Amino acid sequence: MRTALNRYYKKIGVDEKNIHAYRHTFGTNLCRQGVPIQTASKLLGHDDISTTAKYYVNVSADEKARAIETLALNLAVPC
């Protein structure tokens, strides 16, 4: 698989990627689309969701900022 990918990267002029880059992207995209981390963990074949959370789900700076803004907006509304 790696050899085939490396040939393809060379053909299209893209730097080689580690095969795990696709797993990271898959896990991150699942969670960004609202798939529960437990489900993403199972799809990635992990026995423990902490592995998924630690290594496969990346949270961007924009996502963190939006989360804080959401919290601030919700706290600003009187009960």
Task: Give the pLDDT of residue 76.
Answer: 67
**Is the per-residue pLDDT at 74 higher than 80?**
no
Q: How confident is the model at residue 12 (pLDDT cuts 50, 70, 90)?
A: very high
| This prediction's pTM | 0.64
- The string of pLDDT tens digits covering residues 15-52 is 888 888 888 889 989 988 989 999 999 999 999 999 98
CA distance 2 to 27: 20
Enumerate helices (H) and strands (E) in the chain, giving the number of each: 5, 0
Whether the Cβ atoms of residue 19 and residue 9 lie closer than 8 Å to each other:
no
Alpha-carbon distances of 68 from 33, 37, 56, 63, rounded to whole Å = 19, 20, 22, 9
Angle between helices 37-44 and 20-32 (to 10 degrees): 160
